[in-house]
Copies of this chain bind each other. A is one copy, B any other.
Protein backbone atom coordinates (compact mmCIF):
# COMPACT_ATOMS: atom_id res chain seq x y z
CA UNK A 1 0.00 0.00 0.00
CA UNK A 2 1.24 3.46 -0.71
CA UNK A 3 0.48 6.98 0.28
CA UNK A 4 -0.49 9.45 -2.35
CA UNK A 5 2.98 10.71 -3.15
CA UNK A 6 4.01 7.36 -4.53
CA UNK A 7 6.06 5.97 -1.68
CA UNK A 8 5.72 2.26 -1.32
CA UNK A 9 6.09 0.24 1.80
CA UNK A 10 9.35 -0.98 0.46
CA UNK A 11 12.51 -2.08 2.16
CA UNK A 12 14.86 -0.73 -0.40
CA UNK A 13 15.62 2.68 1.02
CA UNK A 14 16.27 1.91 4.61
CA UNK A 15 17.99 -1.33 3.81
CA UNK A 16 20.64 -0.03 1.44
CA UNK A 17 21.42 2.85 3.73
CA UNK A 18 21.50 1.10 7.04
CA UNK A 19 23.08 -2.17 6.10
CA UNK A 20 25.42 -0.95 3.44
CA UNK A 21 28.42 -2.75 4.86
CA UNK A 22 26.56 -5.68 6.25
CA UNK A 23 25.57 -7.33 3.01
CA UNK A 24 22.77 -9.32 4.60
CA UNK A 25 19.67 -7.20 4.30
CA UNK A 26 17.29 -7.26 7.18
CA UNK A 27 13.66 -6.71 6.68
CA UNK A 28 11.52 -4.02 8.13
CA UNK A 29 8.60 -6.41 7.81
CA UNK A 30 10.03 -8.57 10.59
CA UNK A 31 8.74 -6.97 13.73
CA UNK A 32 10.79 -7.33 16.92
CA UNK A 33 8.04 -9.10 18.81
CA UNK A 34 7.79 -11.81 16.18
CA UNK A 35 9.73 -14.86 17.24
CA UNK A 36 10.64 -16.85 14.18
CA UNK A 37 11.37 -20.50 14.43
CA UNK A 38 15.01 -20.78 13.47
CA UNK A 39 15.96 -23.57 11.14
CA UNK A 40 17.90 -26.17 13.02
CA UNK A 41 21.48 -26.43 11.95
CA UNK A 42 21.18 -23.49 9.57
CA UNK A 43 24.62 -22.23 8.66
CA UNK A 44 25.50 -18.67 9.50
CA UNK A 45 25.65 -17.74 5.85
CA UNK A 46 22.34 -19.41 5.12
CA UNK A 47 18.65 -18.75 5.40
CA UNK A 48 17.53 -18.39 9.02
CA UNK A 49 13.79 -18.64 8.67
CA UNK A 50 11.85 -21.58 7.27
CA UNK A 51 9.85 -21.23 4.07
CA UNK A 52 6.80 -22.74 5.75
CA UNK A 53 7.00 -20.32 8.70
CA UNK A 54 7.32 -16.97 7.01
CA UNK A 55 7.35 -17.03 3.27
CA UNK A 56 7.88 -13.28 2.92
CA UNK A 57 10.95 -13.20 5.11
CA UNK A 58 12.24 -16.43 3.55
CA UNK A 59 11.84 -14.98 0.05
CA UNK A 60 13.74 -11.85 0.94
CA UNK A 61 16.59 -13.84 2.37
CA UNK A 62 16.70 -16.31 -0.47
CA UNK A 63 16.80 -13.71 -3.23
CA UNK A 64 19.35 -11.50 -1.52
CA UNK A 65 21.66 -14.11 0.00
CA UNK A 66 21.32 -16.19 -3.13
CA UNK A 67 22.44 -13.11 -5.09
CA UNK A 68 19.45 -12.84 -7.39
CA UNK A 69 18.31 -9.41 -6.27
CA UNK A 70 19.84 -6.47 -4.52
CA UNK A 71 17.69 -3.75 -3.03
CA UNK A 72 17.72 -0.25 -4.46
CA UNK A 73 16.88 3.20 -3.21
CA UNK A 74 13.93 3.86 -5.51
CA UNK A 75 10.86 2.14 -4.10
CA UNK A 76 9.56 -0.76 -6.14
CA UNK A 77 12.75 -1.02 -8.22
CA UNK A 78 15.32 -3.79 -7.77
CA UNK A 79 18.72 -4.71 -9.09
CA UNK A 80 18.84 -7.90 -11.13
CA UNK A 81 22.18 -9.38 -10.16
CA UNK A 82 24.22 -11.41 -12.64
CA UNK A 83 22.85 -14.78 -11.47
CA UNK A 84 19.26 -13.82 -12.13
CA UNK A 85 20.06 -11.89 -15.28
CA UNK A 86 21.77 -15.02 -16.63
CA UNK A 87 18.53 -16.93 -16.15
CA UNK A 88 16.75 -14.22 -18.11
CA UNK A 89 19.34 -14.51 -20.89
CA UNK A 90 18.77 -18.26 -21.07
CA UNK A 91 15.01 -17.73 -21.33
CA UNK A 92 15.63 -15.06 -23.96
CA UNK A 93 17.82 -17.27 -26.13
CA UNK A 94 15.32 -20.11 -26.06
CA UNK A 95 12.26 -18.01 -26.79
CA UNK A 96 13.97 -15.77 -29.34
CA UNK A 97 15.00 -18.82 -31.35
CA UNK A 98 11.40 -20.06 -31.29
CA UNK A 99 9.79 -16.86 -32.49
CA UNK A 100 12.36 -16.47 -35.26
CA UNK A 101 10.95 -19.66 -36.78
CA UNK A 102 7.72 -17.65 -37.21
CA UNK A 103 9.75 -14.88 -38.91
CA UNK A 104 9.18 -12.51 -36.02
CA UNK A 105 11.84 -9.76 -36.19
CA UNK A 106 13.24 -7.85 -33.26
CA UNK A 107 13.10 -4.06 -33.25
CA UNK A 108 13.26 -1.22 -30.75
CA UNK A 109 10.61 1.43 -30.15
CA UNK A 110 11.14 4.47 -27.89
CA UNK A 111 10.46 4.23 -24.18
CA UNK A 112 8.45 7.47 -24.30
CA UNK A 113 4.89 7.62 -25.54
CA UNK A 114 3.02 10.82 -26.26
CA UNK A 115 -0.19 11.34 -24.35
CA UNK A 116 -2.00 11.61 -27.69
CA UNK A 117 -1.06 8.10 -28.71
CA UNK A 118 -1.37 6.58 -25.27
CA UNK A 119 -4.95 7.72 -25.08
CA UNK A 120 -6.16 6.56 -28.47
CA UNK A 121 -7.67 3.26 -27.41
CA UNK A 122 -10.14 4.04 -24.63
CA UNK A 123 -10.27 0.71 -22.83
CA UNK A 124 -6.50 0.40 -23.04
CA UNK A 125 -5.73 3.78 -21.51
CA UNK A 126 -8.26 3.20 -18.75
CA UNK A 127 -6.47 -0.01 -17.91
CA UNK A 128 -3.12 1.68 -17.56
CA UNK A 129 -3.78 5.32 -16.64
CA UNK A 130 -3.46 4.75 -12.89
CA UNK A 131 0.05 3.42 -13.14
CA UNK A 132 1.76 5.43 -15.86
CA UNK A 133 4.97 7.26 -14.93
CA UNK A 134 5.26 10.68 -16.54
CA UNK A 135 8.36 12.61 -17.52
CA UNK A 136 7.51 16.27 -17.12
CA UNK A 137 10.94 17.84 -17.00
CA UNK A 138 14.09 17.76 -19.14
CA UNK A 139 17.16 19.32 -17.56
CA UNK A 140 15.93 22.55 -15.99
CA UNK A 141 13.02 22.97 -18.40
CA UNK A 142 9.45 21.92 -17.91
CA UNK A 143 8.17 20.02 -20.92
CA UNK A 144 5.25 21.56 -22.72
CA UNK A 145 3.71 18.12 -23.08
CA UNK A 146 4.65 15.44 -20.58
CA UNK A 147 5.56 12.08 -22.06
CA UNK A 148 4.62 8.71 -20.63
CA UNK A 149 7.15 6.03 -19.82
CA UNK A 150 5.82 2.97 -21.66
CA UNK A 151 3.78 0.57 -19.51
CA UNK A 152 3.49 -1.54 -22.71
CA UNK A 153 4.03 -0.54 -26.34
CA UNK A 154 0.80 -1.03 -28.26
CA UNK A 155 0.31 2.71 -28.60
CA UNK A 156 4.00 3.34 -29.33
CA UNK A 157 4.05 0.82 -32.14
CA UNK A 158 0.76 0.97 -33.92
CA UNK A 159 1.20 4.31 -35.69
CA UNK A 160 4.24 2.60 -37.25
CA UNK A 161 2.07 -0.37 -38.19
CA UNK A 162 -0.33 2.03 -39.89
CA UNK A 163 2.53 3.48 -41.90
CA UNK A 164 4.18 0.20 -42.84
CA UNK A 165 1.07 -1.76 -43.70
CA UNK A 166 -0.07 -0.42 -47.05
CA UNK A 167 -1.21 -3.60 -48.71
CA UNK A 168 -2.08 -7.17 -47.80
CA UNK A 169 1.39 -8.00 -49.18
CA UNK A 170 2.82 -6.28 -46.09
CA UNK A 171 1.05 -8.82 -43.89
CA UNK A 172 1.74 -10.48 -41.63
CA UNK A 173 3.91 -7.91 -39.86
CA UNK A 174 5.57 -9.51 -36.85
CA UNK A 175 7.74 -7.54 -34.45
CA UNK A 176 9.12 -8.21 -31.03
CA UNK A 177 11.19 -6.26 -28.56
CA UNK A 178 13.19 -7.19 -25.50
CA UNK A 179 12.99 -4.16 -23.27
CA UNK A 180 12.09 -2.55 -19.98
CA UNK A 181 8.65 -1.23 -19.05
CA UNK A 182 7.41 0.79 -16.12
CA UNK A 183 4.17 0.48 -14.20
CA UNK A 184 4.08 2.86 -11.30
CA UNK A 185 2.02 0.58 -9.09
CA UNK A 186 1.01 1.48 -5.57
CA UNK A 187 0.44 -2.05 -4.40
CA UNK A 188 2.96 -3.72 -2.14
CA UNK A 189 5.98 -4.48 -4.32
CA UNK A 190 7.72 -7.85 -4.42
CA UNK A 191 10.97 -8.44 -6.28
CA UNK A 192 10.40 -10.13 -9.66
CA UNK A 193 6.69 -10.60 -8.90
CA UNK A 194 5.56 -7.00 -8.80
CA UNK A 195 8.03 -4.23 -9.45
CA UNK A 196 7.70 -0.78 -10.93
CA UNK A 197 10.17 -1.52 -13.67
CA UNK A 198 10.56 -4.94 -15.19
CA UNK A 199 12.11 -6.59 -18.22
CA UNK A 200 10.09 -8.50 -20.74
CA UNK A 201 9.58 -9.26 -24.37
CA UNK A 202 6.57 -7.86 -26.10
CA UNK A 203 5.52 -9.27 -29.43
CA UNK A 204 3.21 -7.28 -31.67
CA UNK A 205 1.86 -8.69 -34.89
CA UNK A 206 -0.73 -7.89 -37.53
CA UNK A 207 -2.54 -10.38 -39.73
CA UNK A 208 -5.01 -10.35 -42.58
CA UNK A 209 -7.44 -12.73 -40.95
CA UNK A 210 -8.81 -13.52 -37.53
CA UNK A 211 -7.80 -17.15 -38.05
CA UNK A 212 -4.16 -16.34 -38.70
CA UNK A 213 -4.06 -14.11 -35.64
CA UNK A 214 -5.73 -16.75 -33.52
CA UNK A 215 -3.31 -19.48 -34.58
CA UNK A 216 -0.36 -17.34 -33.58
CA UNK A 217 -1.89 -16.53 -30.18
CA UNK A 218 -1.98 -20.24 -29.44
CA UNK A 219 1.48 -20.97 -30.80
CA UNK A 220 2.99 -18.28 -28.58
CA UNK A 221 1.09 -19.54 -25.56
CA UNK A 222 2.56 -23.00 -26.18
CA UNK A 223 6.04 -21.52 -26.11
CA UNK A 224 5.28 -19.61 -22.93
CA UNK A 225 4.23 -22.92 -21.43
CA UNK A 226 7.57 -24.24 -22.71
CA UNK A 227 9.51 -21.49 -20.93
CA UNK A 228 7.82 -22.32 -17.65
CA UNK A 229 7.57 -26.10 -17.87
CA UNK A 230 10.64 -27.01 -19.89
CA UNK A 231 13.07 -24.34 -18.70
CA UNK A 232 11.90 -23.22 -15.26
CA UNK A 233 10.37 -26.59 -14.29
CA UNK A 234 7.23 -24.78 -13.21
CA UNK A 235 3.83 -26.26 -14.10
CA UNK A 236 1.14 -24.01 -15.55
CA UNK A 237 -2.46 -24.26 -16.62
CA UNK A 238 -3.39 -22.90 -20.03
CA UNK A 239 -6.63 -21.10 -20.54
CA UNK A 240 -8.52 -17.98 -21.45
CA UNK A 241 -9.06 -15.00 -19.20
CA UNK A 242 -12.58 -14.00 -18.31
CA UNK A 243 -13.86 -10.64 -19.49
CA UNK A 244 -13.02 -9.17 -16.09
CA UNK A 245 -9.40 -10.20 -16.32
CA UNK A 246 -8.52 -9.77 -19.97
CA UNK A 247 -5.95 -7.28 -21.24
CA UNK A 248 -7.33 -3.74 -21.62
CA UNK A 249 -8.15 -3.40 -25.29
CA UNK A 250 -7.98 -7.08 -26.22
CA UNK A 251 -10.62 -9.22 -27.89
CA UNK A 252 -9.52 -12.09 -25.72
CA UNK A 253 -6.52 -12.98 -23.60
CA UNK A 254 -5.02 -16.43 -23.34
CA UNK A 255 -2.88 -17.11 -20.33
CA UNK A 256 -0.76 -19.57 -18.50
CA UNK A 257 -1.45 -19.63 -14.78
CA UNK A 258 1.04 -20.78 -12.21
CA UNK A 259 0.67 -21.70 -8.55
CA UNK A 260 2.70 -20.99 -5.45
CA UNK A 261 2.25 -24.01 -3.16
CA UNK A 262 3.62 -22.21 -0.11
CA UNK A 263 0.73 -19.74 -0.12
CA UNK A 264 -1.77 -21.63 -2.20
CA UNK A 265 -2.09 -18.61 -4.44
CA UNK A 266 -2.32 -18.55 -8.19
CA UNK A 267 -0.08 -16.34 -10.27
CA UNK A 268 -0.42 -15.10 -13.81
CA UNK A 269 2.64 -16.41 -15.62
CA UNK A 270 2.39 -14.98 -19.15
CA UNK A 271 -0.33 -13.82 -21.52
CA UNK A 272 -0.91 -13.90 -25.25
CA UNK A 273 -3.63 -11.56 -26.47
CA UNK A 274 -5.70 -11.39 -29.58
CA UNK A 275 -6.42 -7.68 -29.86
CA UNK A 276 -8.89 -8.22 -32.65
CA UNK A 277 -9.49 -5.02 -34.58
CA UNK A 278 -9.77 -2.65 -31.60
CA UNK A 279 -6.43 -1.01 -32.15
CA UNK A 280 -6.42 -1.24 -35.93
CA UNK A 281 -9.63 0.76 -35.91
CA UNK A 282 -8.24 3.38 -33.55
CA UNK A 283 -4.90 3.59 -35.36
CA UNK A 284 -6.37 3.19 -38.83
CA UNK A 285 -4.37 0.14 -39.86
CA UNK A 286 -6.06 -1.08 -43.00
CA UNK A 287 -5.42 -2.86 -46.27
CA UNK A 288 -7.51 -3.29 -49.38
CA UNK A 289 -9.32 -6.60 -49.41
CA UNK A 290 -7.11 -8.84 -51.60
CA UNK A 291 -10.25 -10.58 -52.79
CA UNK A 292 -11.89 -7.30 -53.75
CA UNK A 293 -11.50 -7.90 -57.47
CA UNK A 294 -13.24 -11.19 -57.27
CA UNK A 295 -16.04 -9.97 -55.09
CA UNK A 296 -16.35 -6.77 -57.10
CA UNK A 297 -16.23 -4.70 -53.92
CA UNK A 298 -13.32 -2.52 -52.98
CA UNK A 299 -13.33 -2.85 -49.28
CA UNK A 300 -10.94 -1.81 -46.56
CA UNK A 301 -10.05 -4.46 -44.03
CA UNK A 302 -8.87 -3.54 -40.57
CA UNK A 303 -6.00 -5.86 -39.71
CA UNK A 304 -6.17 -8.40 -36.89
CA UNK A 305 -3.60 -7.84 -34.20
CA UNK A 306 -1.96 -9.76 -31.40
CA UNK A 307 0.31 -8.81 -28.56
CA UNK A 308 2.06 -11.15 -26.15
CA UNK A 309 4.46 -10.75 -23.29
CA UNK A 310 6.65 -12.71 -20.93
CA UNK A 311 8.41 -10.98 -18.05
CA UNK A 312 11.11 -11.38 -15.44
CA UNK A 313 8.26 -12.30 -13.06
CA UNK A 314 8.90 -15.82 -14.34
CA UNK A 315 12.14 -15.91 -12.35
CA UNK A 316 10.26 -15.07 -9.16
CA UNK A 317 7.75 -17.86 -9.75
CA UNK A 318 10.65 -20.26 -10.25
CA UNK A 319 12.27 -19.17 -6.97
CA UNK A 320 9.04 -19.41 -4.98
CA UNK A 321 8.32 -22.85 -6.43
CA UNK A 322 11.66 -24.57 -6.00
CA UNK A 323 13.53 -22.72 -3.27
CA UNK A 324 13.90 -24.50 0.08
CA UNK A 325 15.27 -23.87 3.54
CA UNK A 326 18.84 -24.08 2.31
CA UNK A 327 18.25 -21.40 -0.31
CA UNK A 328 17.67 -21.26 -4.03
CA UNK A 329 17.19 -24.32 -6.19
CA UNK A 330 17.71 -23.47 -9.85
CA UNK A 331 16.65 -25.81 -12.65
CA UNK A 332 19.69 -26.93 -14.67
CA UNK A 333 18.47 -25.67 -18.04
CA UNK A 334 18.44 -22.04 -16.94
CA UNK A 335 21.19 -22.04 -14.31
CA UNK A 336 24.17 -19.80 -15.02
CA UNK A 337 26.32 -22.45 -13.33
CA UNK A 338 25.01 -26.01 -13.57
CA UNK A 339 27.80 -27.85 -11.80
CA UNK A 340 30.16 -26.65 -9.09
CA UNK A 341 33.26 -28.73 -8.48
CA UNK A 342 34.75 -28.57 -5.00
CA UNK A 343 38.04 -30.29 -4.17
CA UNK A 344 37.84 -31.96 -0.74
CA UNK A 345 40.16 -33.82 1.59
CA UNK A 346 42.98 -31.31 1.29
CA UNK A 347 44.44 -30.84 4.77
CA UNK A 348 47.50 -29.34 6.38
CA UNK A 349 49.21 -32.67 5.85
CA UNK A 350 48.60 -32.76 2.10
CA UNK A 351 51.83 -32.25 0.19
CA UNK A 352 51.94 -29.52 -2.46
CA UNK A 353 52.51 -32.22 -5.07
CA UNK A 354 49.45 -34.18 -3.99
CA UNK A 355 47.39 -31.01 -4.00
CA UNK A 356 48.62 -30.02 -7.47
CA UNK A 357 47.84 -33.47 -8.73
CA UNK A 358 44.33 -33.36 -7.29
CA UNK A 359 43.63 -29.89 -8.68
CA UNK A 360 45.05 -30.94 -12.02
CA UNK A 361 42.54 -33.78 -12.21
CA UNK A 362 39.73 -31.43 -11.24
CA UNK A 363 40.71 -29.04 -13.99
CA UNK A 364 40.91 -31.87 -16.51
CA UNK A 365 37.44 -33.24 -15.93
CA UNK A 366 35.92 -29.78 -15.54
CA UNK A 367 37.34 -28.89 -18.97
CA UNK A 368 35.91 -32.12 -20.28
CA UNK A 369 32.48 -31.21 -18.98
CA UNK A 370 32.71 -27.73 -20.45
CA UNK A 371 33.61 -29.28 -23.80
CA UNK A 372 30.25 -31.06 -23.91
CA UNK A 373 28.39 -27.87 -23.07
CA UNK A 374 28.03 -28.23 -19.30
CA UNK A 375 28.23 -24.87 -17.51
CA UNK A 376 30.74 -25.83 -14.86
CA UNK A 377 32.80 -23.86 -12.33
CA UNK A 378 35.46 -24.93 -9.86
CA UNK A 379 35.90 -23.57 -6.36
CA UNK A 380 39.55 -23.54 -5.31
CA UNK A 381 39.11 -20.73 -2.77
CA UNK A 382 41.61 -20.93 0.05
CA UNK A 383 40.62 -20.32 3.65
CA UNK A 384 37.13 -21.78 3.39
CA UNK A 385 36.24 -25.30 4.49
CA UNK A 386 34.50 -27.65 2.06
CA UNK A 387 31.45 -27.53 4.33
CA UNK A 388 31.28 -23.75 4.11
CA UNK A 389 31.60 -23.97 0.35
CA UNK A 390 28.84 -26.58 0.17
CA UNK A 391 26.50 -24.24 2.03
CA UNK A 392 27.52 -21.29 -0.10
CA UNK A 393 26.72 -23.00 -3.40
CA UNK A 394 23.58 -24.61 -2.02
CA UNK A 395 22.36 -21.16 -1.05
CA UNK A 396 22.91 -20.06 -4.65
CA UNK A 397 20.94 -23.05 -5.89
CA UNK A 398 23.55 -24.64 -8.15
CA UNK A 399 21.80 -27.82 -9.34
CA UNK A 400 24.70 -30.22 -8.94
CA UNK A 401 27.82 -30.38 -6.79
CA UNK A 402 30.80 -32.56 -7.56
CA UNK A 403 33.14 -33.35 -4.68
CA UNK A 404 36.54 -34.72 -5.47
CA UNK A 405 39.17 -35.75 -2.92
CA UNK A 406 42.15 -38.08 -2.68
CA UNK A 407 39.91 -41.07 -1.97
CA UNK A 408 37.78 -40.36 -5.03
CA UNK A 409 40.94 -39.97 -7.08
CA UNK A 410 42.17 -43.36 -5.94
CA UNK A 411 38.90 -44.98 -6.98
CA UNK A 412 38.73 -42.99 -10.22
CA UNK A 413 35.33 -41.55 -9.35
CA UNK A 414 33.69 -38.31 -8.29
CA UNK A 415 31.00 -37.87 -5.67
CA UNK A 416 27.90 -36.01 -6.82
CA UNK A 417 25.28 -34.25 -4.74
CA UNK A 418 21.98 -33.10 -6.16
CA UNK A 419 20.64 -29.80 -4.90
CA UNK A 420 17.00 -30.69 -5.49
CA UNK A 421 16.88 -33.61 -3.03
CA UNK A 422 16.74 -32.79 0.64
CA UNK A 423 17.80 -36.15 2.06
CA UNK A 424 21.59 -36.13 1.99
CA UNK A 425 21.99 -39.82 1.30
CA UNK A 426 19.46 -39.82 -1.49
CA UNK A 427 21.05 -36.75 -2.99
CA UNK A 428 24.45 -38.36 -3.30
CA UNK A 429 25.91 -40.51 -6.04
CA UNK A 430 29.17 -41.66 -7.52
CA UNK A 431 30.25 -41.47 -11.15
CA UNK A 432 33.38 -42.83 -12.80
CA UNK A 433 35.56 -40.09 -14.16
CA UNK A 434 35.57 -41.58 -17.64
CA UNK A 435 31.75 -41.53 -17.66
CA UNK A 436 31.34 -37.90 -16.63
CA UNK A 437 30.87 -36.45 -20.12
CA UNK A 438 27.96 -38.77 -20.67
CA UNK A 439 26.50 -39.10 -17.19
CA UNK A 440 26.54 -35.51 -15.95
CA UNK A 441 24.36 -34.15 -18.77
CA UNK A 442 21.97 -37.05 -18.13
CA UNK A 443 21.92 -36.35 -14.43
CA UNK A 444 21.20 -32.66 -15.05
CA UNK A 445 18.25 -33.63 -17.23
CA UNK A 446 17.08 -36.00 -14.52
CA UNK A 447 17.19 -33.18 -11.98
CA UNK A 448 15.30 -30.97 -14.40
CA UNK A 449 12.48 -33.46 -14.91
CA UNK A 450 12.28 -34.47 -11.25
CA UNK A 451 11.94 -30.81 -10.29
CA UNK A 452 9.13 -30.37 -12.74
CA UNK A 453 7.34 -33.53 -11.70
CA UNK A 454 7.41 -32.62 -8.02
CA UNK A 455 6.09 -29.15 -8.72
CA UNK A 456 3.51 -30.53 -11.10
CA UNK A 457 2.24 -32.94 -8.47
CA UNK A 458 1.99 -30.11 -5.94
CA UNK A 459 -0.07 -28.03 -8.34
CA UNK A 460 -2.33 -30.96 -9.23
CA UNK A 461 -2.84 -31.78 -5.56
CA UNK A 462 -3.88 -28.20 -4.91
CA UNK A 463 -6.20 -27.73 -7.87
CA UNK A 464 -9.47 -28.84 -6.35
CA UNK A 465 -12.56 -29.37 -8.42
CA UNK A 466 -15.77 -28.58 -6.56
CA UNK A 467 -19.36 -27.61 -7.12
CA UNK A 468 -20.50 -26.75 -3.61
CA UNK A 469 -20.15 -23.13 -2.52
CA UNK A 470 -19.81 -24.20 1.11
CA UNK A 471 -16.47 -25.75 0.29
CA UNK A 472 -15.23 -22.80 -1.73
CA UNK A 473 -13.64 -20.63 0.96
CA UNK A 474 -12.42 -23.45 3.23
CA UNK A 475 -10.71 -25.04 0.24
CA UNK A 476 -9.03 -21.74 -0.59
CA UNK A 477 -7.98 -21.43 3.03
CA UNK A 478 -6.33 -24.83 2.75
CA UNK A 479 -3.99 -23.31 0.17
CA UNK A 480 -5.72 -24.52 -2.92
CA UNK A 481 -7.05 -23.02 -6.06
CA UNK A 482 -10.46 -24.27 -7.11
CA UNK A 483 -12.03 -25.33 -10.35
CA UNK A 484 -15.70 -24.49 -10.22
CA UNK A 485 -18.70 -24.21 -12.51
CA UNK A 486 -19.20 -20.56 -13.30
CA UNK A 487 -21.44 -18.41 -15.43
CA UNK A 488 -18.49 -16.25 -16.64
CA UNK A 489 -20.46 -13.15 -15.71
CA UNK A 490 -18.27 -10.24 -14.70
CA UNK A 491 -20.53 -9.08 -11.88
CA UNK A 492 -20.89 -12.57 -10.51
CA UNK A 493 -17.12 -12.83 -10.55
CA UNK A 494 -16.89 -9.64 -8.48
CA UNK A 495 -19.34 -11.13 -6.01
CA UNK A 496 -17.33 -14.32 -5.66
CA UNK A 497 -14.27 -12.23 -5.00
CA UNK A 498 -16.00 -10.21 -2.33
CA UNK A 499 -17.47 -13.25 -0.62
CA UNK A 500 -14.15 -15.03 -0.44
CA UNK A 501 -12.23 -12.10 0.99
CA UNK A 502 -11.11 -12.41 4.61
CA UNK A 503 -13.20 -9.55 5.89
CA UNK A 504 -16.24 -11.68 5.10
CA UNK A 505 -14.94 -14.57 7.14
CA UNK A 506 -14.31 -13.14 10.53
CA UNK A 507 -10.90 -12.99 12.09
CA UNK A 508 -10.95 -16.42 13.64
CA UNK A 509 -11.23 -18.39 10.44
CA UNK A 510 -7.80 -18.47 8.97
CA UNK A 511 -5.30 -20.28 11.07
CA UNK A 512 -2.48 -19.05 8.93
CA UNK A 513 -2.09 -15.41 9.85
CA UNK A 514 -0.34 -14.81 6.54
CA UNK A 515 -3.35 -15.90 4.51
CA UNK A 516 -4.11 -13.20 2.01
CA UNK A 517 -6.92 -10.85 2.80
CA UNK A 518 -8.01 -10.63 -0.78
CA UNK A 519 -10.77 -12.66 -2.28
CA UNK A 520 -10.43 -15.18 -5.05
CA UNK A 521 -10.51 -13.97 -8.60
CA UNK A 522 -10.84 -15.99 -11.73
CA UNK A 523 -7.44 -17.14 -12.90
CA UNK A 524 -8.58 -18.58 -16.20
CA UNK A 525 -11.06 -20.71 -18.03
CA UNK A 526 -8.81 -23.74 -18.60
CA UNK A 527 -8.63 -25.13 -22.13
CA UNK A 528 -8.68 -28.55 -20.56
CA UNK A 529 -12.30 -28.77 -19.38
CA UNK A 530 -13.42 -31.72 -17.28
CA UNK A 531 -16.79 -33.31 -17.96
CA UNK A 532 -19.81 -32.44 -15.92
CA UNK A 533 -21.17 -29.10 -17.02
CA UNK A 534 -24.51 -29.45 -18.71
CA UNK A 535 -25.78 -26.52 -20.65
CA UNK A 536 -28.85 -24.97 -19.10
CA UNK A 537 -28.67 -27.34 -16.17
CA UNK A 538 -25.48 -26.93 -14.14
CA UNK A 539 -25.75 -23.96 -11.80
CA UNK A 540 -23.11 -21.30 -11.33
CA UNK A 541 -21.29 -21.94 -8.05
CA UNK A 542 -22.25 -18.56 -6.65
CA UNK A 543 -25.41 -19.26 -4.63
CA UNK A 544 -26.65 -15.73 -5.29
CA UNK A 545 -26.24 -16.09 -9.01
CA UNK A 546 -29.21 -17.34 -10.95
CA UNK A 547 -27.30 -18.11 -14.13
CA UNK A 548 -26.23 -21.44 -15.43
CA UNK A 549 -22.57 -22.32 -15.55
CA UNK A 550 -20.81 -21.97 -18.88
CA UNK A 551 -17.55 -23.67 -17.99
CA UNK A 552 -15.24 -24.84 -15.28
CA UNK A 553 -13.37 -21.74 -14.21
CA UNK A 554 -10.21 -21.74 -12.12
CA UNK A 555 -10.48 -19.37 -9.16
CA UNK A 556 -7.86 -18.55 -6.61
CA UNK A 557 -6.33 -15.96 -4.41
CA UNK A 558 -3.49 -14.65 -6.45
CA UNK A 559 -0.48 -12.37 -6.83
Contacts and interface: CB of A to CB of B under 8 A. Distances in A.
A16 B159 CA distance: 8
24 contacts: A4-B141, A5-B141, A5-B144, A6-B142, A7-B144, A19-B163, A20-B159, A20-B163, A23-B163, A74-B110, A74-B114, A79-B110, A80-B107, A80-B109, A82-B106, A85-B106, A129-B140, A130-B140, A132-B138, A134-B136, A135-B136, A135-B149, A138-B184, A138-B186
Interface stretch (A175-183, A366-374, A467-475, A490-498): A175-183
Contacts of A443: none
Nearest to A67: B164
A143 interface: yes
Contacts of A147: 74
A292 to B, nearest CB: 16
Interface string A160-186: 101110100000000100011010101
Contact of A146 (B78, B129, B137): B137
B180 A113 contact: no
A447 to B, nearest CB: 24
A478 interface: no
B79 A109 contact: yes
A81 interface: yes
A81 B109 CA distance: 8
A325 interface: no
A180 B116 CA distance: 23
A417 interface: no
Contacts of A89: 106
Contacts of A149: 135, 149
Leading 4 A-B pairs by shortest Cβ distance: A138-B184, A82-B105, A5-B144, A77-B110
Interface in A93-149: 105-114, 116-117, 129-144, 146-147, 149
A80 B112 CA distance: 14
Interface string A68-91: 001011100111111001101100
A111 B184 CA distance: 13
Contacts of A284: 20
A411 B164 CA distance: 40
A419 B328 CA distance: 53
Contacts of A134: 135-138
Contacts of A117: 73
A113 B5 CA distance: 17
Given A23-B163, A74-B110, A134-B138, 9 more contacts: A5-B142, A20-B162, A23-B164, A74-B114, A82-B107, A132-B138, A136-B137, A139-B184, A179-B180
Question: Chain copies in the assembly?
Answer: 2
Contact of A138 (B73, B81, B110, B131): B131
Interface in A426-454: none
A164 B74 CA distance: 18
Given A16-B159, A141-B5, A184-B139, A78 B130 contact: no
A188 to B, nearest CB: 15
A185 B74 CA distance: 24
A214 B88 CA distance: 31
A289 interface: no
A31 interface: no
Contact of A74 (B112, B160, B180, B197): B112
A149 B134 CA distance: 11
Contacts of A129: 139-140
Contacts of A108: 79-80, 85, 88, 199
A297 interface: no
A74 B163 CA distance: 16
